[in-house]
Amino acid sequence: MANTLQGKRIVVGICGGIAAYKTLSLIRLLRQAQAEVRVVVTKAATAFVTPMSLQALSGNAVAESLLDPQAELGMGHIELAKWADAVVIAPLTANSAAQLAQGLAQDLLSTICLATTAPLFIAPAMNQQMFKHPATQQNLALLRTRGAVQIGPESGEQACGDVGFGRMAEPETIFATLQNAFAKGKTYAGLRVLITAGATKEPLDPVRFLTNHSSGKMGFALAKAFADAGAAVTVVAGSVQLSADLSRLPIIRINVGSACEMLSAVEDHVQHCDVFISCAAVADFRPETVSSQKLKKDPKNQTETMTLTLVKNPDIVAKIGQMTENRPFVVGFAAETENVADYAKGKLKSKNLDMICANDVSNGKGFNRDENAIHLFWKTPQGLDETHYPLTDKLTLAQYLAEKIVQVYKTC
């Protein structure tokens, strides 16, 4: 991607959280991209990062106080708000999110956010239970309705020892989101998309597993198509044998193995997305038991056969389709070898999907290829509509699909 941040004036706001140390790397990335950076810290933030370090990295004095006499002589809080091409707050704490949602101007950072017309980017970071609290969710939702672009958070182990959703997005992800926002044609800005991609692996023993031929190319192409157009994208990736690197795009990637792991990751993130696209090839069954040791051939077994008992895996897209609260727009994929259209329409209804992308994978088509063809079906107030995309490269196809998905989503 071209350097879209050169010469851009970025206000970086830092709130009081342990993730503040990661913002040092974000400032370094912005400076390397030749952006001008002004740092504004809350009082609590200075307990985690020092103004001296921030000044050294940004090349400018750090603003701390709303009524600093020296600051008011030069670039005061109103001038700083007018100066900015973008304001990014990383980390954004639960307390600061509440202040912004209520329109309070209790410190320099919240005052700048009220006074600026520049786009606001927020990277929440807090304890997982604080993040899940309805008050925090309402505050963040209110900020998004006002145009704020939310980046993350991610799930994982936290400084307090908890494990869950609340880790600040990585500096590279925040940087890529900012860079992407200044590119032209960002028609999906503010849209949050969750995509599953690749194959799941169902272990038999420590060295063997059941899987399928999915490469993840279609899911990754969709992620790129949405991210290139300004959407905030999270990818839950199973087994993906690709050299493509999504790190230069504003995409959060979560790696999983089995279908159950994929379901858990999707459930962690789906309440915070607008569109869910189930593109992964999820195994329908898994071994009932997984051996702790490598399975050996039995020399006494003269028939040279082995019997495996398989149990059903959870149907991820059906579970999301049946959600009753905070349900996203749900898009499924149907890879079939016969009666493609009939099976796809049946799944659209039985799984309560909004749209389904059907493709014929018989005779080696679709899986692990650079091209694909899609027969698309979606619900309308009048019943069912459809269109067909002929064989083309997967990135071009993904761009067509993304456009149609957004078009139908906006009419719902």
> Is 412 assigned a catalytic role?
no
Q: How many helices (H) and strands (E) does the chain have?
A: 14, 19
Residues 6+ apart with CB under 8 A from 153: 123, 124, 125, 126, 131, 165, 166, 167, 168, 169
Q: What is the per-residue pLDDT for 36?
A: 95
Instruction: Compute CA distances 29 → 267, 286, 384, whole Å.
Output: 32, 44, 48
Distance CA 277, CA 299 (A): 47
Give the single-character DSSP code of 187.
T
Q: How much is the average pLDDT of 153-164? A: 75
Distance CA 387, CA 329 (A): 18
Express as a percent the part of the chain with pLDDT over 70.
Answer: 90
- Does 69 score more than 60 pLDDT? no
Q: What is the mean pLDDT of the chain?
A: 87
Is the separation of the CB atoms in 108 and 87 below 8 Å? no
Q: How much is the average pLDDT of 139-151? A: 86
| Between 363 and 43, the higher pLDDT residue | 43
Is the separation of the CB atoms in 216 and 195 below 8 Å? no
**DSSP states of 63-100:** B--TT-HHHHHSS-HHHHHHH-SEEEEEEEPHHHHHHH
The three-point CA angle 270-250-133 to 5° equals 35
Residues 81-98: tens digit of each pLDDT:
889 999 999 999 999 999
- Does 17 score more than 60 pLDDT? yes
Residues 6+ apart with CB under 8 A from 105: 111, 114
The three-point CA angle 185-190-196 to 5° equals 95
Q: How much is the average pLDDT of 124-131? A: 90
Instruction: Find, among 335, 369, 370, 333, the residue nearest to 353 by Cα.
Output: 333
Instruction: Find, among 220, 195, 197, 198, the residue nearest to 273 by Cα.
Output: 195
- Does 72 score more than 60 pLDDT? no
Whether residue 153 has a cis bond before it, omega within 30° of 0:
yes
Q: Is the dihedral of CA 56, 57, 58, 62 positive or negative?
A: negative
Distance CA 15, CA 75 (A): 21
Q: What is the pTM of this model?
A: 0.63
Catalytic member of 15, 160, 260, 357 = 160
- Does 29 score more than 80 pLDDT? yes
Q: How much is the average pLDDT of 367-376? A: 78
Residues 292-338: tens digit of each pLDDT:
888 887 776 666 677 889 999 999 999 999 999 889 999 999 887 77
